[in-house]
Amino acid sequence: MTDTPTIVDPDVVAPAVAGLDTIVSLAKRRGFVFPSSEIYGGINAVWDYGPLGVELKNNVKRAWWRAMVQERDDIVGLDAGILMHPQVWVTSGHVAEFSDPLVECGTCKRRYRVDDLPGAEDLSPAEASDPGVIERLGLQCPNDGGPLTPPRRFNLMLKTFLGPVEDEAAVVYLRPETAQGIYVNFRNVRETSRKKIPFGIAQIGKAFRNEISPGNFVFRMREFEQMEMQFFVRPDNATAQFEEWLPRRRAWYERYGVSPERLRFREHRPDELAHYAKKAVDVEYRFPFGWKELEGIHNRGDWDLSRHQEASGENLEYFDPATEEHFIPWIVETSAGADRAAFTFLIDAYREEEVRGETRVVLAFHPQLAPYKVAVLPLLKKRAEIVDLCHRILADLKRDVMAVYDDTAAIGKLYRRQDEIGTPWCVTVDVDSLEDGAVTVRDRDSMTQDRIPIEGIKRAILDRLEAARTG
Ligand code: ATP
């Protein structure tokens, strides 16, 4: 790599929030994330996004699409089906290989992924699947110290049946990654978009994995969303393209507010590489539970297209008119999780500050990611003219941005509530507004207040949003 991975001591870089509970409870209390089907006791590793969470996650996806598709001439979008021809997953290697080593405790019957066991975190996939690994390392059940079975491979793909007959011939898989939808559409997209190599195809969509040990809130879920981009390149250009995508993808997280010191690259060891990968580097984030993968960047060689060409019998080669060569393009992939990215932005935005002897909780979201851009608040809700004016301002703002009205508490408390959900600006209408036609705009981070004429508010908010985007 040109940009050598920074070696960062995990104990030196503190997480943005010491305990995950702080974030989990804020997320629940303020309506970012709820356990799925909670009234029935929940379903393990599936989470629902509440009113604020859906805005945050949509904004994360929009920011990714903007950087990966809208702002580029060489990447186009795609939205492929979750269900695909079952042969896709045989060809891709998922039916044979997409599995984790699973062990079970002989007494409490709990199941674990081998590399989630204390003392086994650094094992390569081959070492973790070795039948003698439990004995060799003296591993025990972390719950009750009971004996563990030797590892067996557990396939992570979820199955269902297509059509009215539930037999083997009707089995289809819920896709475990969005990438395969891109590979099988490579020719369709190239022909219709008339793109020349190097070019990419980007996709955001749901993926499903029957994870053995999900956990850490939305970090590892069984139903989640991916934001993947596959860049098709000449074989002799793959290494250079790979090196270019590394800093570009890291910069995207920084551009939207993640602290640079809590990001690092980690290159996969040769014994860790997936069957398709020539080289893989993860962008990692310092979560409260350690450094973990945020996004994977992979040089996949010609594995995917040549396998699909062979299995389907269709020609997936590219003809380069400049050199008059036919070849299978190589692929550089950037594979991120939308939920994991939203989770990261949420954690990294969390601040507790002392203000006049009180603790103020702030989510210092980048304004483009904030669920609401502006809140309109009355200083006196008993004055009908003030409330009317608030609603007129709100209606105008809502034409362009997510805005909200709140009059259910005194102004200090209303500010505090908006701080806690990360609203960058509050517009307050007071008695003077009725006379001078101006309102107060309060900034979340600096808490400074500006007096702005009512007719200029929307422009001021839009200008600040634009400045935050380009700044
Ligand atoms: P791991 O080894 O931790 O299981 P992985 O290397 O298999 O993860 P990839 O297949 O590279 O993960 O997936 C790409 C991205 O998709 C990850 O970086 C992550 O952001 C997201 N992702 C993968 N699995 C999950 C999951 N179970 N829940 C949420 N996001 C996920």
Ligand 1 touching residue 317 (CB < 6 A): no
> Is there an atom of ligand 1 within 6 Å of 337 CB?
yes
pLDDT of res. 11: 60
Its pTM stands at: 0.94
Return all residues near 158 (Cβ < 8 A) that are at least 6 apart.
173, 174, 176, 208, 209, 210, 222
Is residue 209 lining ligand 1, measured as CB closer than 6 Å? yes
Region of 37 please: left (phi>0), alpha (psi -120 to 50) or beta: left
Average pLDDT, the chain: 95
Ligand 1 pocket residue status of 224, Cβ below 6 Å: yes
- 293 CA to centre of ligand 1 in angstroms: 7
What's the mean pLDDT in 364-391? 97
Which one, of 32, 25, 105, lies nearest residue 342 by Cα?
Answer: 32
How many CB atoms within 10 Å of residue 432? 13
With 0-12 CB in 10 A as exposed, 13-18 as middle and 19+ as buried, what is 454? middle
- Determine whether the shortest distance from the Cβ of 266 to ligand 1 is under 6 A: no
pLDDT at 254: 98
30 CA distance to ligand 1 centroid (A)?
Answer: 27
Pocket-testing residue among 49, 219, 298, 340, ligand 1, by greatest number of atoms within 8 A of Cβ: 340
Give the pLDDT of residue 66. 97
Query: pLDDT for 301-348, tens place per residue?
Result: 999 999 999 999 999 999 999 899 999 999 999 999 999 999 999 999
Lowest mean pLDDT among 50-59, 185-194, 196-205, 267-276: 267-276
From 179, 120, 172, select the one nearest 151 (Cα to Cα): 120
Cα–Cα distance, 245 to 229 (Å, whole number): 11
Q: Give the pLDDT band of residue 29 (cuts 50, 70, 90).
A: very high
Q: Is the pLDDT of residue 2 over 80?
A: no
SS3 94: helix
3-class SS of residue 108: coil
Amino acid at 420: E
253 pLDDT above the threshold of 60: yes
Average pLDDT over residues 198-204: 98
| Calpha distance 365→444 (Å, rounded) | 10
* Backbone φ/ψ region at 92: left (φ over 0), alpha (ψ -120 to 50), beta: alpha
Mutate to test the pocket of ligand 1, among 157, 224, 265, 279 (most ligand atoms within 8 A of CB): 224
Question: 220 CB less than 6 Å from ligand 1?
Answer: yes
Q: What is the DSSP-derived secondary structure letter of residue 396?
A: H
| C-alpha 277 – ligand 1 centre gap (Å) | 15
Q: Nearest to residue 399, comparing CAs of 457, 451, 441?
A: 457
pLDDT at 30 over 70: yes
Percent of the chain clearing pLDDT 70 (strictly above): 98
User: Ligand 1: distance of its center to the CA of 336 in Å?
Assistant: 8
